[in-house]
Amino acid sequence: MSSKNRVYVAVAAFCAIVAAGLALAVSSGSDEQDDTFLDRDRISVGMHNDLPGVGYEENYHRSGFDQLVFERVREGLGFRSSPPSNISSEARVPVLVKGDLDMVFASFSITEKRMRYVDFVGPYVTTYQGFLVGPESKVDELDDLEGGMVCSWEGTTSADAVADLKREGIASKTLVDASDCLEELKKGKVQAVSTDQMILHGFARQHAKDGLEVVPDVTIGAPQHYGIGLPKGHRADCRELREFVKRYVGSSDWIRDVTTSLPDIADTEPGWISDYEPSDEAIDARSCRDTPSS
């Protein structure tokens, strides 16, 4: 073999080794290069600020179920954090992929597609997608929306489910954020707003003077499993968080936090705990994985 050929072979072998290493890191969720952030001086967190009862900020005060979950996790694991950053639904995955934030608590539904890019811990609650209507609404079942318009907003799994309503003869529109849809509903430009029922209960309570209410017992799509979002490459931290979340969800603290943040759930949905409380098996199946386990 000539010296030139030996160089080519060496370069090819080196490239193959690098490619194999990258493939292994991706396929294993970067377990081989695991990093920890729970022992940092400060952890950065992203949250919604416009979802009453879930993730809300007013006069520099944060409230809602996601906020309480964050506080439980922070206290339970004993880390310190910077003040949470406001985050939109559409930005949740990108900020974690880029490493701009360490954690996201933002009604973040765990999906198989999202699991390819970020790690989740949870679910810490499960909800279904429903409908918010105005005071003059005659909607009692899904068929009552036929010929009407339903609004959802960008960056959510809800928008996809609403688009599928076309098969039922129901039109849809996707706006920038929740406030746009609520204004359309109040003005009578849409017949309903659709997203997760937890979020809708928060809106209904905030806008009670406008007569907005959640349609009982009418849901669409698959259950939505809310999880804590983490960047890939922190599986040791992820597993520690997973075990804490399992203990929390099975405790009276979890029940208290849901009913404190969203009292209308308990008031209007009999047997709500069995619907909203995830099992240990559900948490294990979706936490710290690249794909959900069967």
DSSP per-residue codes, 9-50: HHHHHHHHHHHHHHHHHHHTTTGGG----TTSS-B-EEE-SE
Match 């406030």 to its residue by tokens. 179
Query: 35-127+223-286 is classed in which CATH architecture?
Result: 3-Layer(aba) Sandwich (3.40)
| 194 Cβ contact list (under 8 Å, min separation 6) | 129, 130, 131, 132, 150, 151, 152, 158, 161, 162, 220
Q: What is the residue extent of each domain of the chain? A: 35-127+223-286, 129-222
User: Which pLDDT tens digit goes with each residue over 43-81?
Assistant: 999 999 999 999 999 999 999 999 999 999 999 999 999
Q: Is 242 helix (H, G, I), strand (E, B) or coil?
A: helix
Rounded distance between C-alpha atoms, residue 242 and residue 122, angstroms? 7
- Percent of the chain beyond pLDDT 70? 89
pTM: 0.85
Q: How confident is the model at residue 33 (pLDDT cuts 50, 70, 90)?
A: low
Fold of 129-222: D-Maltodextrin-Binding Protein; domain 2 (3.40.190)
> Which is nearest to 227 in space by CA: 283, 163, 145?
283
Give the angle 291-15-27 at the CA atoms, nearest 5°: 5
